[in-house]
Structure 1
Amino acid sequence: MQSSFSVLTMLWSMCAAACFMLGMIQVMTWYQRKWKTAYLLSFSMAIAATLIALFELSMMFATDVERYQVLFSLHAFCIFFVLLSLVLFARSYLGHGSQWILVPIIVLWPIQVLANTLFPEGPLYLNVLQIERVETYWGESFTFARIETSPMKYLTDTTTALIMIYLMQSAWAGWRHGMRQRAIVVGGGSMLFIVIAGIHTPLVDAGLVRTPYMISFAFMPILASLTYQFVSEAERDRTDLQRMRREMERLSRIGMLGEVAAGIAHELNQPLTAILSNAQAARRFLELENPDLDEVRDIVNDIIADDKRAGGVIHGLRAMFNRDETLPGAARVNDAIRVVSKILIGELRSNKVKLETELAKNLPAVIGDEVQIQQVLMNLILNAMHAMSDAPDHARRIVVRTVPAGGEVLISVADTGPGISAEALPRLFEPFYTMQKKDGLGVGLAICSRIVERHGGRIWAENNSDVGAIFKFTLPIKRDTDEKPA
């Protein structure tokens, strides 16, 4: 008894499923890459290749000439569609190609498709004369047709030759313009498909090779290589985007450094002046005939203390402005606030702004990077300071609070400025949106939002009930940590 298992059905079904799966990957890429035409054309080719495989499978089991003729016409239509889409894809994806070759292809190819669809005995093939069953070497049979070709088929062959020339010329132009990998995939893959299909298909038409049509198998490597190329490009773009974001964050920190440079210079000047004065005093004591060593020892201790004070400021700056990579772990929010307060104290004094902190005791550590949390805090405090630039000196006040809130820590930065307009509130965290009158790029709050969200938290803004605005953000508490509360 003959087995019901069909190798032919399995192979062509697998080919159709593979083409469809590759098409789904490509349509997702099309959606992610901002709806670019090249990816949509590639997806349409994948769907057409899926239909080609299914039509080839159906033709193998057709039982009468009429059914075979209909399937054969639909098969030819899908091939026309794939080749025209391939030409348009090369034009869109590589951005190069001769219009003198492209225009005849676009004109001739649809005419042949229309004629072949409207007339059963169209210009491509006159008629399917008869069908017969051919047995494979493993014992399975399939339908094989004797076809009478038309002299008009040479028009199709000419158009196919123009397509080959266009694809080669487009790939070569792309290669010369630096798109070498794209050129290899499009040019090499297309030529391989056309050569294999162009040799095998005429031999089957002439009856010299008694096998099923295998155009779908010839086209599948193109789809696979294009999908791999699309995914690789998307991954490279994602890596480049992450690198650009990290660089933007670093440049934002450097920009803040320039903004607070005067205050930092003031903070460093005080310990350095004290060190100089103490050193001069110690030298005078040592020049005495009987110096008081206890007094000299106290002076040296003062010098050490002032040096540590200056070193602390410099250490905080180095940590904040020279790091690019995120080091996940346990961060102590209260410590981050204290560091930022020390860095900004000179800038706040010069702008006559009073900074107050209300930090919760025994605050648990949060998940994240302390330097990036410092960056968020510094952005919010500087924004609050700028918001109060028109307020009276005695009314300029910033309050930074921390409180535990369930499984999170809530941090807030409140000011006594004019508040935020209803129009501006929904757009505060959009890139390049700023309310500053001058020198505002509008990237600070957008970066703050991205950092907080990357840490698993939320950030928002609202107006105070009396005066000013308040920015709040949350960070998740780190569980099972050995970190001591801040």
Structure 2
Amino acid sequence: MVVNAIGNSKWLAMSLTIVIVASAISISVLFYSQQIANENIRDKLFEKAKQDQSRVTRTIASRIGSDLDSIAARLQVLAVSQGLQGGDLTGQDADRLARSVFSQITAAHRAIDAFYILDKDNMVVKVANTKEDTDSRQFLGFDASSRDYVKETRSSLGPVFSNVFVGADGRPRITITYPIINRDSGQYLGLVGVGAQSEPFFKEYGNVDDFNSSTYLNVLDRNAVYVASPNSAIVGKSFFDKDVQDEFVRNDPIINNFYRKFLSGQFADATFDVGFGERLATGQPVIVNGKAAYFVTLGIPTSLIYSDIESVLAQQNTQSLYHMAGLVSAAAILIFFLIRLNGRLAREVSERTRALAEANEQLTDTNQRLREANEEIKSHDKMQSEFINIAAHELRTPIQPIVGMTEILKNRLVHDSGGKGKVEVTAKQLELIDRNAKRLQKLSAEILDTTRIESGTFRLDLEVLEMNERMRSVIADAKSLIPHGQSIKIHFKPLADESGRPIPLLVKADKLRIFEVVSNLLRNAIKFSARDDDNGGSSGSSHGSNGGSGGGGTVITITTDRKDGEMVVVSVKDQGAGISADIFPRLFTRFSADRERGGTGLGLFIAKNIVEAHGGRIWAENNNKDGKGATFAFTLPLVKP
């Protein structure tokens, strides 16, 4: 069985190798043949595109020549009219016929925008234009003797198609003129002419705006000056100018030979790149009355030509692919079945392995989530149990003195003859009841605030406060919190200027809530600073900005400062036992109470949420560097002036 399996495996490998090699050779031969055929097709199609463009170029040149000849013929009709032949260039008959001729020309050529008649002294005696924003009368009496087309008209005594020049509007223009010559005397009486901006005029025959979108048109005059072109930077410049040669032609001999050929009056074609991608260009002179009036070149990006060619080649390649598919179909089917037979087992094993790995990963993740959820439940149950025990203890502690004192007072109740009861109550007894009632009130307030925080209904009543004054109020109220027999002093160090005067620190905050935060921090500092005094004695606390005076004991320091000019920093530093390591990580969480010192563990949690609701931050640290105890601090945003 093993020998047969090995033999079958070798046969399969050999068969696959033969099929693959044979297919590769066949495909290579077909691809090479197809590549040769594609090159031949490209060459033929490109040659056809060049012939088509040559025909279009000749057609455009012929059309321009025909239109120029038509304009000159209309001007000739006006020049030989009876009114002008008599020398009356401004009479009513001449004016009526001139308007008619100008109307006919502009109807056929919308770019023609000006008409004029010059007398024998080259002075403008009649002018009209199609621009509503231009008063043509301003040109009456203008001496046009310096214009080249005027000189050429007088010397040639025939129609003139001018070279490009800069008109009064500052734009490149051309003009077409016809001389007024008396038929009997042969005397030169003046000329008639029409003019147009060169680019709008030749735009009627092709694209003179964009080099890349489609076939484009360049027009040059008899001085090889660009009359119209998509490249506006060269309009008005000669092809042979140094800057044109250096920047655009780059002294390319192919381009220079192409231009020289068609500027000499011959048809020309070439393929070259003038910095805007490769172009196929064809050039043809515009012939009017047997002479070259202008020269046109037609260009097209070769990429557009090849895009059309590629569509034809794609069809050709599709047919070749059909032949190739027929040749390798049998081999493909054979390879398919062999691979399928050999790969089915591999896929099955791979899929089962992957499924098993995924199931194992999912099981691991599920177990991990269950462990985490179980730990969270245990932690929550533990915290809840601790809170219930702490809350029960905290509630019982103030209730018992109140209930006990109430029983004592009830027993001392004395009824008078009127049946009314009265009892004598000492200040100490009232203080006991008041202190424990306030303790109950604080406990209930903390539980209520915790409920509001967790339910998202915690709200602030904001107003502008001066923090130094607020600190003094808190310190004054903290006096009653210092246990009897403890020497605890409270020093207040506000931010001050160089003369020692406190600097006002304005914040926008809820004054009751900020009072609650600072009171909470002070209460904790007093609680953890209190210790047994071997010598007895009274409390030594000090209030106000100047701190206490005389004596020893524990000191609690409250300071205010500024941070980065944007935050006020309030810190409360004590000299107590510090923060134990097991409490520190969960200091500002719920129920993080010190069992030895008592408390619900809600005060710091509430303080943290109050500070953060104001846009501040609260933190704590042990005073490891400068002694024992701990420092609690928080920040609040300063009010912008």
Task: Provide TM-score, normalisation by structure 2.
Answer: 0.24
Task: Provide TM-score, normalisation by structure 1.
Answer: 0.32
Higher-strand-fraction structure: 2
Higher-helix-fraction structure: 1
Structure scoring higher RCO (CA < 8 A, sep ≥ 6) equals: 1
From the CA coordinates, give the structure whose radius of gyration is larger. Answer: 2
